[in-house]
Amino acid sequence: MAIHITEAAAKKINEIIATEKPDASGMRIAVQGGGCAGMSYHFDFALAPDPKQDKVFEENGAKVVVDKKSYLFLNGTELSYSDGLNGGFKLKNPNVKATCGCGESFTV
């Protein structure tokens, strides 16, 4: 399996790289401990993926970089993007068993 990047997410990733992060090679997604449910997502931009530590997924012209530990929790996830109220990047993660009330953290 892999990380699926929707067309809208790819377009937004490339837009941010072109206008704000020209040195980035793609978006980095990580899973960190924290939040009321135990784990949370962290989004950043990757300058240069480490071939020993990172997995790189490319779809619709954009790249997503995930460290190998985070990939254990993100395998099969879809990254999407939407504008508007409550918009932004969203992860549809089939591995999540429960989320907190605010939706910012999760358990697997």
User: Domain containing 73: what range?
Assistant: 4-107
Q: Are 91 and 105 in contact (CB under 8 A)?
A: no
List the CATH number of the domain containing 35. 2.60.300.12
In sequence order, the β-bridge partners of residue 32 are: 40
- Residues 83, 93: Cα–Cα separation, whole Å: 20
Confidence of residue 17 (pLDDT cuts 50, 70, 90): very high
Domains in the chain, number: 1
Does pTM top 0.85 for this prediction? Answer: yes
Structure tokens at 78: 């879809």
Confidence of residue 95 (pLDDT cuts 50, 70, 90): confident
Q: What is the pLDDT of residues 35-90, one digit of tens each?
A: 666 778 899 999 989 999 999 999 999 999 999 999 998 999 999 999 988 889 99
pLDDT of residue 29 exceeding 80: yes
